[in-house]
Amino acid sequence: MRPILLLILVLLAAPLAGGYIYHIPKPTLLIHSSVSPEVLMPGDTGVLTVEIENGAGQYVVQYQDEDFTLSTPINRTWLEGSEDIQVTSQNYRDIGMIGPGDSVPLYFTIKVDQNISEGTHFLDFGLSGGYDLEEINRKIPIQIDANPLTMVRSEVPKSTTISLDVANPRQNTVNAVTVTPRARGWEFSPEEYYIGTMEADELFTIEFDLQQANPENKRAPEKATNITFSCRFKNGETWHQSANYTIPFQPAEEQAPRSPWVTLALGAVVLAAGAGLFIFIRRRRSPGKRTGEEASDH
């Protein structure tokens, strides 16, 4: 009985011992991810790039008098969406071999729900690869920020110009920034201001010239009016619009042009006043002279 039990224990221990002795070297797979744009907004469509890298430093290693290649095959990959982020592109299959130091980028299109909450969301990414088809799973972070561009008055509006500060409070770059003003009875130059690209935390000051929509009306409107500014921009490939910004504007009153007859009348009054003053001075001096002459006669 004892010899049979001893034989069974030896047979059970043999595979375990062999597993420690015969360990096949394997490459290290590194997974990197990036999103374009870097920070998404509600309703955005973005591109998630997942890069699979073979971290091995050489192609062939020798172990137990045998040569082993450190290139590794990738069979398939998958990306699972969440409740608020939808993956709209297909998964990958039969990607092929990745050599030491090489990498393969995979691109996934994602669509963000309009009612998604701000913060960091995660998508599940996985791959099946290697000669034994091992599975690797990773959490891919997606940043969500709903803040749009902001506008604020730069200085008190003048009679013919108005300045505006446009700020990008977001953590990423936005593109195609355009500001458009409008006010009843007024025209603006330029009609819209194209800023273009704005980096994160960048502030841009713009200026518009104003003139009345009806130049033949020489008198400016007496009541204050409101100027409303709208701002459009692109986050990645998705258009967004900031909340309208409205400020009051009080146009300076222009004096009506003076009639030439009024100018002539004022000139006549000045001349008449000057002549009267001259006569008055002469009359005051005349009595003094006569008194002197009378004194000399006596």
| pLDDT in 10s for each residue of the chain, 298 residues | 444 433 333 344 444 433 344 444 566 889 999 999 999 999 999 999 999 998 876 555 555 555 556 788 899 999 999 999 999 999 999 999 998 889 999 999 999 999 999 999 999 999 998 878 889 999 999 999 999 999 999 887 667 889 999 999 999 999 999 999 999 889 999 999 999 999 999 999 999 998 888 766 555 555 678 999 999 999 999 999 999 999 988 766 554 455 555 555 565 655 665 555 555 555 555 554 444 444 444 4
Residue 86: partners with Cβ closer than 8 Å, 6 or more residues away = 110, 111, 113
Q: Into how many domains does the chain fold?
A: 2
Phi, psi (degrees; rounded to nearest 5) at 85: -130, 120
Do 223 and 251 meet the contact criterion of CB atoms below 8 Å apart?
no
Sign of CA dihedral 139, 106, 109, 148: positive
Domain, as residue range, for 238: 150-249
pTM of the model: 0.71
| 91 and 196 belong to one structural domain | no
- 271 lies in a domain? no
CA separation for the pair 243, 241 (Å, rounded): 7
| 197 and 234 belong to one structural domain | yes
| 127 and 58 belong to one structural domain | yes
